[in-house]
Amino acid sequence: MGLIIYFYLIHYVYLIMDKCKYTYKCLVFLLIVIALILLNMYYYNFLNRHFIKNGTMVYDYFLECIHSVSKKNYYMNYGLWTNKNTTLIKANKNLCNFIYKKGRMNNSETFTILDVGCGYGAQDFQWIKKISSKSSIVAVDISRKQIDYANRKLSHKHISKKRLKFIEGDADKLLDKFNKNQVFNRIISLETAFHYNNRPLFFKNVSKLLTDDGIFVISDIILNNNITYFSLNHIFIKLASDFFCIPKTKLITLNEWKHSIERNGLNIIECYDITDQTFVPYYSYFFKTYIKNKNLPHFISTCLINIFNNNNPFSYVVAVCKRNL
């Protein structure tokens, strides 16, 4: 939020300075410089304390925010919202069902599934109930804390590790984690690839780990093709880069994203833009519920919803891919 404060503070200072004498202009300028320095220090201190440690994203604060509007919810996605999805956790599960269907993982066949960026494993516990008893899931995440949580839950549910396994691993180094003979006929990336330092390398690794008849399903967050750069868009992009740990070089448009996939050994056979069923209803639900739970004035949620939904520079896309043979 620091950059939004900067923007409006500078805007109002310029308005004031136009009406002031030279001495007062200098004083105001000095005060604004001091204020910006302090705000900048607070902004990055808050960011590093709650979101980024040693260059890695920390999800604790996000989980705390999710639990403030959806208790005991360990799904880490925006959800796919329909008229039937009136709560966040229902929308989360609906998105996972959508990904499952696009992966063509019917329960009459045998699948070896790799879930990259599994988080707390909520979607994997959902999918393991649907797939055949001979199928298996290997779920990978860079966060030791999230993998430990998923393994504790796995033990509590008494699910065999031959069917569902959670392991710590870096999406940029998948080939180091799996040997050359270990391949998968389904690979899933659910709302995680935009975090990766080297998304093209991830696509290339997926193409090498996918069987010839396999399917790769990815849901990802990218820039709008028709994005126009103005102040609020720049603010949103900067905030997203900082708080969601998105490398600035990975802020690409849909066309660039498709080219990156296809240049790295994969062929897109289906692509869906579901932005209006993700971001828009998510922000509406989140801010309304959060403000209500905190007993804050209703107009605050209305303002935040309008700001986020009317100035969002991002698209939410899902692609179904196969290997280039």
Long-range contacts of 233-241 (CB under 8 A, 24+ apart): 233/311, 233/313, 235/3, 235/4, 235/7, 236/311, 236/312, 236/313, 236/314, 237/313, 238/3, 239/1, 239/3, 239/4, 240/314
Q: How far apart are CA 50 and CA 58, in angstroms?
A: 7
- For residue 166, the model assigns a pLDDT of 98
**Residue 55 placed within a domain:** no
243 and 180 in a common domain: yes
**Residue 66 placed within a domain:** no
121 and 10 in a common domain: no
159 and 43 in a common domain: no
125 and 240 in a common domain: yes
28 and 80 in a common domain: no
Query: Hey, what are 305's tokens?
Result: 């919803």
DSSP-derived 3-state class of residue 119:
coil
pLDDT, tens digit, 9 for 90 and up, residues 68-114? 999 999 999 999 999 877 899 999 999 999 999 999 998 889 999 99
**Residue 63 placed within a domain:** no
Helices (H) and strands (E) in the chain, counts: 12, 9
**Residue 110 placed within a domain:** yes
212 and 168 in a common domain: yes
209 and 138 in a common domain: yes
Query: Which distant-in-sequence residues (6+ apart) come within 8 Å of 188 by Cβ?
Result: 99, 103, 113, 114, 115, 116, 123, 216, 217, 218
Query: Can you list the residues of the chain whose pLDDT is less than 70?
Result: 1-60, 226-236, 239-250
**Residue 10 placed within a domain:** yes
- For residue 245, the model assigns a pLDDT of 64
Query: Hey, what are 55's tokens?
Result: 């260059």
32 and 156 in a common domain: no
Task: Provide DSSP, 36-79.
Answer: HHHHHHHHHHHHHHHTEETTEE--HHHHHHHHHHSTT----S--
- For residue 310, the model assigns a pLDDT of 81
168 and 128 in a common domain: yes
- For residue 268, the model assigns a pLDDT of 98
**Residue 149 placed within a domain:** yes
- For residue 67, the model assigns a pLDDT of 93
**Residue 208 placed within a domain:** yes
- For residue 44, the model assigns a pLDDT of 60
Q: How far apart are CA 153 and CA 278, in angstroms?
A: 28
Whole-Å CA distances, 45 to 38, 59, 148, 206? 10, 16, 27, 36
Q: How far apart are CA 63 and CA 283, in angstroms?
A: 16
The total number of structural domains that make up the chain: 2
CATH number at residue 112: 3.40.50.150
**Residue 135 placed within a domain:** yes
148 and 25 in a common domain: no
253 and 163 in a common domain: yes
Task: Give the domain extent around 160.
Answer: 75-323
297 and 166 in a common domain: yes
Pairing, β 210-223 against β 314-323: antiparallel
